[in-house]
Structure 1
Amino acid sequence: MVLSALLRFIYPPPSNIFVTAMSMISIVSLGNSGIMEVKGKHMQYSKFWNFGTDQKISADKKAKISSKTGMIIAYTPAFLAGVGSFVLLPVGDFRFDLLRSAITIHYFKRIFEVLFVHKFSGWTDTEAAITISLSYFINSVMMIYSHYLIQGFPEPQTDLKYFGALLFLVGISGNFYHHYLLSQLRIKGDKNYKIPQGGLFSLVICPHYLFEIMGFLGISCISQTLYSFCFTLGTTFYLMGRSYATRKWYQSKFEDFPTHVKALIPYIF
């Protein structure tokens, strides 16, 4: 009964053990990363570089690159995967074209922000940058490939692609806006962190993560495949852990951090 209800919203999974296995791996690996963030074992980038005594000792022994370079490394392969899909798989239906367009736009926006919006003052662990890059690349390829496999399958009873496209646009716009607000916190040469202001920052410390989840949920609704929803669920778990760690970090740095400001979901979490 649960399966029949689920199939109203997603395509029947293709008889491909690899795709099914990767769907489960995406949830488990991303969910575990979220748990690690809550426990204080952070991916070594952004403000969490050297956060914690034990991590500082181990981080000093690791190869480091600038945060800007690290983020370019992280996002470029996934962007190229989206662009490359139009060359390698030129024939596709409207939903397929909408999906890979959304993936390509998502990572193009990220690269654009790294080059022209974000302001960097720290370092990134080279290993972490490569790990993140592989994760983004593999998941982008898998979303495209899993949807390619169901070309010609009967459409789900409930068509979510237009709702998904709208949700994606809201998510990517809200994410960009709050990234812009973060970039305005520092004047040139300023390396000090400040409590973010404006937008939904008055309610949650990570509204950019909230909108990122919306964007990926929009991509999942466009695709309506098992893999895409598994990836979005795993991403949600990870960003919940990341936002929890971010709020904890701000509380440790600012005695006047507002107690009513939640981590990710206004008034709730």
Structure 2
Amino acid sequence: MICQESTVQYGSWVFIIGGLLYLLRQMTTHTPYGRYVDTKTPGIMVSAKAGWFVQELPSFLVPVLLLLMTESFSGMGRILLLCTFCLHYFQRTFVFSLLTKGRPSPLEIVVYAVIFCSMNGFLQGHYLLHCAQYSTDWHKDARFLIGLLMFFTGMAINIHSDYILRNLRKPGEVSYKIPRGGMFEFVSGANFFGEIVEWCGYAVATWSFPAFSFAVFTACSIGPRAYHHHRYYLEKFKDYPKSRKAVIPFIL
């Protein structure tokens, strides 16, 4: 397949502009999934396990299909980067979705997520497979090494934070509790912080516009959600730690 350079550029700008517009929208309203779902509003709901599986799958499946359709693919750096991207979405699709205890989501939210993940899977996969030009020793470059360190650090924070959230309540309990331990000692949205660090690291490791645009979109989409969670905790719990920030330790 020939590199669709214009598609990559346009798609990346769509992510950046779309992310900024989504950021502005979330400053005045909540995206209706998770604790912000209004169960009284009519509409089709999708279980959390099914919803997360279906919406995350394209980000894993599309790059894998692109790889299978590629006749030749070489370069240790590109191979590691593609595997890194797919690793995140393998975990989110086949592990996180099966373990989650979240609330059902509106069907329209799941559909929007499927569309986004399909576009992003194609954008990142196509760029790495058909457009990226790296030196043969890119896997030794400081940007690559620092980026991967950030990525796996963020992934560890994200997975550990999800574990803490899943085990907050005992079977049968429905009330929210204050998450404690790990990065939750510093920020209310520790899971969101971990994912933002992941994709910022991926952007550094790939040193590419598509990865940068995805990192921007990620920060714009889940950063405000961490802020909403932070405000929720402060309003609900009088003993909520005042030293915690919303999403960036010691800063924001």
Letter in 2 for 1:129: V
**Equivalent residue for 2:92?**
110
Q: How does 1:137-152 map to 2 (within 5 A)?
A: 137-152=118-133
Runs of 5+ unmatched residues, structure 2? none
- For the residues of structure 2 that align with 1:144 and 1:69, how far apart are their CA atoms? 24
Shift of 1:15: 8.0
**Equivalent residue for 1:61?**
42
Number of residue pairs matched by the alignment: 245
CA contact (8 A) 1:20 1:227 kept: yes
Letter in 1 for 2:18: S
**Equivalent residue for 1:91?**
73
Question: 2:144 is matched with which residue: 140, 161, 173?
Answer: 161
Question: 1:100 is matched with which residue: 82, 89, 98?
Answer: 82
CA contact (8 A) 1:85 1:100 kept: no
Worse-matched range after superposition: 67-76 or 145-154: 145-154
CA contact (8 A) 1:82 1:101 kept: no
SS in 2 for 1:39: coil
**Equivalent residue for 2:35?**
47
Q: How does 1:79-228 map to 2 (within 5 A)?
A: 79-89=60-70, 91-111=73-93, 112-116=95-99, 118-120=100-102, 122-152=103-133, 159-228=142-211
Shift of 1:35: 2.3
- Which stretches of structure 1, 4 residues or more, deviate above 3 A after TM superposition? 151-156
- For the residues of structure 2 that align with 1:43 and 1:92, how far apart are their CA atoms? 41
- For the residues of structure 2 that align with 1:83 and 1:220, how far apart are their CA atoms? 20
Shift of 1:29: 0.9
CA contact (8 A) 2:188 2:246 kept: yes
Deviations 1:93-147 (A, max 9, x none): 222211211111101111202213x223x22000101111221221121012123
Deviations 1:158-195 (A, max 9, x none): 65222222221111111101111111101122222111
TM-score (norm 1): 0.83
> Higher RCO, 1 or 2 (CA under 8 Å, sep at least 6)?
1
- For the residues of structure 1 that align with 2:53 and 2:128, how far apart are their CA atoms? 27
Question: 2:219 is matched with which residue: 227, 236, 250?
Answer: 236
Shift of 1:154: 6.0
Deviations 1:11-53 (A, max 9, x none): xxx882222111111011122222222212x222111112xxx
- For the residues of structure 2 that align with 1:182 and 1:218, how far apart are their CA atoms? 24
**Equivalent residue for 1:19?**
8
Percent pairwise identity: 24
Residues 83 and 15 from structure 1, CA distance in 2 versus in 1: closer, same or farther, beyond 3 angstroms?
Answer: closer
CA contact (8 A) 2:77 2:134 kept: no
Worse-matched range after superposition: 254-263 or 198-207: 254-263
TM-score (norm 2): 0.88
Residues 153 and 100 from structure 1, CA distance in 2 versus in 1: closer, same or farther, beyond 3 angstroms?
Answer: closer
